[in-house]
Amino acid sequence: MRTLVFDGRTGAAGDMICAALIAAGADPDALAPVSDALPVRYAVGEVEKNGIRATTVDVLIDDRTVETDGDHDHGHDHDHGHDHGHDNDPSTSGSDEPAEGAGVHRSYREVVDLVESMGLPPAVESTALDAFELLGRAEASVHGTDLDETHFHEVGADDAIADVVGAALLLADLGPERVVTTPVAAGGGTVEMSHGTYPVPAPATTEIASRAGFRIAGGPIDRELLTPTGAAILGAVADGFDAVPDLAVERAGYGAGDADFERHPNVLRALVGDGREPGPDGDREKRDDDRARAGQPVDGRLAHDDIAILETNLDDAAPEVLGGLQETLSRAGARDVTIVPTTMKKSRPGHLVKVICKPADAEAVAERLARETGTLGVRQSGASHRWIADRAFETATLRVDGEDHEVDVKVASTTDGEVYDVSGEYDDAAAVAEATGLPIREVLRRVEAEVREQLPRE
């Protein structure tokens, strides 16, 4: 099996990954679709790092007009700023100014729309979108927002998009059947970002590492060595290994980072060769588990949804208060409310209230729960996500005595579209039952059967 191995003992960033792929045999001309879509150009060159000859890739501002954000401050040492000798397109004239932070800073949805507008091959587009989804979910988790509402700062500018899409294009050109990575050095100390000074690894990098299928390691120096962009690219394409796997090496290449370190060559090594083919069941299971941790769809499984779970114990709540919690907490942002009878201290009867909500709504829901019940404390449990069905609603029409009655029917499916449940909405069915004299369960049976008949047959 043709295998690509990344060896990130001094970290990884988007430009280092692109450079390592070129050094390992990918054609720089494969980067043309990015330069066609964005006002940037790639400069590919070579440099020596602690005695190792390595490839460099810079994303530079093209001659076209680029909007800049004067407040942008990017503290990642790896991304750009190398001194190179030539462009990937010698006929293209342009500025030598790095594109770091240039262009508008986009939301996750704007980035997705931009990538989808580039006309990339499906596999390349999928890889790039997987990486940006990892970045988006990480940012959403760190900032407590929904994915589609997430606004990128450093990673929404032109240079970061050029790194991610460029890596996807180069990877497709190199054409490995499998990509793996050894543990990646994260570095140490602190890093300056647009929101302030943060410990290394940066919050988004840490969140991506928790979702990706590879390990990170601290050190070996107090600098940021693994950037969010680099972590997201690796998380989208690579399985984690504790060491370089059994490999008949055909080619080795090194992608250089910007900084120079006294004792450590600041390079990302890429090895290409014939690797031992893993067993199909174990390999697929690991790949699916890695994708699931990353919040990516897995065929036949449920979708990832970031949540917060709030709990409180009540021993003196009136039944009317408990009965109204579904409505009052839903208005504050609760997605689901469960009330469980329990036994509390001194054998007194009580209730456990559990609430599911989005992380961004947790504080408002907790305050509403406290005000409605008088509880002195609301705890947030350790769960960070749930697995949910893809849900859609169909409208079924039930004709009784010459009159049509409509009932909404919920259709639940896995991420690959396999329907596993069809359920009529109870309130709609109850209203039809009252109007027609039919039993509620008969209304539900008929409308669910109608929707099942309309579903595509395999």
Residue-wise pLDDT tens digits, 44-83: 999 999 999 999 999 998 765 434 333 333 333 444 333 3
Question: In this structure, what token pair is assigned to residue 299?
Answer: 């065929």
Residue 424 lies in a domain: yes
Residue-wise pLDDT tens digits, 108-161: 888 889 999 999 999 999 999 999 988 888 888 877 777 766 666 555 578 889
Do 379 and 311 touch, CB atoms closer than 8 A? yes
Statement to judge: residues 125 and 259 lie in one domain: yes
Looking at the DSSP bridge assignments, the partners of residue 424 are 409
Statement to judge: residues 366 and 258 lie in one domain: no
pLDDT band at residue 375 using 50, 70 and 90 as cut-offs? confident
Statement to judge: residues 111 and 225 lie in one domain: yes
Give the domain-ending residue among 344, 362, 388.
388
Residue 21 lies in a domain: yes
Statement to judge: residues 325 and 262 lie in one domain: no
Residue 87 lies in a domain: no
Share of the chain above pLDDT 90, in %: 46
Nearest to 406 by CA among 397, 415, 414: 397
Statement to judge: residues 383 and 417 lie in one domain: no
Give residue 412's pLDDT: 84
Residue 27 lies in a domain: yes
Residue 32 lies in a domain: yes
Statement to judge: residues 204 and 352 lie in one domain: no
pLDDT band at residue 273 using 50, 70 and 90 as cut-offs? very high
Sign of CA dihedral 87, 92, 98, 101: negative
Q: What is the CATH number of the domain that holds 326?
A: 3.30.70.1380
Predicted TM-score of the model (pTM):
0.57
Give residue 383's pLDDT: 58
Residue 176 lies in a domain: yes
Residue 91 lies in a domain: no
Statement to judge: residues 39 and 125 lie in one domain: yes
Helix 440-454 to helix 426-436 angle (10° resolution) is 120
Statement to judge: residues 50 and 198 lie in one domain: yes
Q: What is the total count of domains within the chain?
A: 3
Domain coverage including residue 398: 390-454
Instruction: Using DSSP, state whether 110 is helix, strand or coil.
Output: helix
Statement to judge: residues 426 and 351 lie in one domain: no
Quote the Cα angle for 116-121-122, to 5°.
Answer: 70
CA-to-CA separations, 300 to 219, 294, 303, 413, 455, in angstroms, rounded? 39, 16, 10, 9, 17
Nearest to 31 by CA among 169, 163, 123, 174: 169
Residue-wise pLDDT tens digits, 283-330: 444 455 555 544 444 555 666 667 888 999 988 788 888 999 989 999
Statement to judge: residues 375 and 425 lie in one domain: no
d(CA 210, CA 195): 22
Mean pLDDT over residues 437-447, rounded? 93
- CB burial string 173-210: b at 16+ within 10 A, e below: bbebebbbbbbbbbbbeebebeeeebebbbbbbbbbbe
Residue 118 lies in a domain: yes
Residue-wise pLDDT tens digits, 150-205: 666 555 578 889 999 999 999 999 999 999 999 999 999 988 876 678 899 988 89
Residue-wise pLDDT tens digits, 58-68: 999 876 543 43
> Would you list the DSSP string of 270-323?
EEEEEEPPPPHHHHHHHHHHHHHHTT---TTSPEEEE-EEEEEEESS--HHHHH
Q: What is the CATH number of the domain that holds 404?
A: 3.10.20.300
Give the domain-ending residue among 370, 388, 406.
388
Q: Which amino acid is at 174?
A: L
Do 272 and 2 touch, CB atoms closer than 8 A? yes
Statement to judge: residues 420 and 354 lie in one domain: no
Mean pLDDT of the chain: 82
Give 120's DSSP letter: -
Contacts of 139 (CB under 8 A, 6+ apart): 108, 145, 150, 151, 152, 155, 204, 207
Question: Can you give the C-alpha Rg of the chain in angstroms?
Answer: 27
d(CA 142, CA 291): 20
Statement to judge: residues 326 and 211 lie in one domain: no
